[in-house]
Structure 1
Amino acid sequence: MSRLYGDPIEVWLREGRPARFVWRDRLYLVRAVQDHWVTAREWWRTTDADPGERRFWRVEAVTGRDIGIYELRFDTASGGWLLLRAWD
């Protein structure tokens, strides 16, 4: 079962991939990237401004003894990271 969150997080990268992140004052270490995809933000708009991309990662991460699956999103336009979803 998964839960939706949309919480801001702080992420550290290694070789362009999430290596660790802080969510709700807890440090998570990424053990594996399970999936990665990119979508264009507001691709339907026809303005000259670049709307940017949203880059998604589904990762297996550990904090203490707890292991979970988490979906992270980076928005290139805002430069912000969110934790979108977590699986039990």
Structure 2
Amino acid sequence: MSRLYGDPIEVWTREGRPVQFVWRDRLHAVRRVVDHWVVSREWWKTSDSDPGERRFWRVEADPGSRIGTYELRFDTAGEGWLLMRAWD
């Protein structure tokens, strides 16, 4: 079962891929990227200088106790990361 969050998170990347993130004061080490996709924002919500992409990553990560699955989103317009969803 998954749960929706939309919580801001801090993410470290290597070559554009998330390698670890902090959520709820816990460091999560990314063990595997399960999926990655890009969604372009609607053309009327973008500007010439910013295409407004949202990049999604579904990852398996270890917060120190057990591996879980998480969906992370990077918004190029705001340059911020969110934890969108987590699976039990």
TM-score (norm 1): 0.92
Q: Which runs of 5+ in 1 are unaligned?
A: none
Q: Which runs of 5+ in 2 are unaligned?
A: none
Q: Which amino acid aligns with 2:18?
A: P
Identity of aligned residues (%): 76
Number of aligned residue pairs: give it: 87
Report the CA distance between 1:46 and its aligned residue: 7.7
Report the CA distance between 1:56 and its aligned residue: 0.2
Report whether the alignment pairs 1:61 with 2:61.
Answer: yes
SS in 2 for 1:66: coil
Report the CA distance between 1:42 and its aligned residue: 2.1
- Change beyond 3 A, Cα 1:25–1:42: same
User: What's the C-alpha RMSD, in Å, of the aligned pairs?
Assistant: 1.5
Report the CA distance between 1:48 and its aligned residue: 4.8
Paired position in structure 1 for 2:9 = 9
Q: Equivalents in 1 of 2:45, 2:7: separation in Å?
A: 30
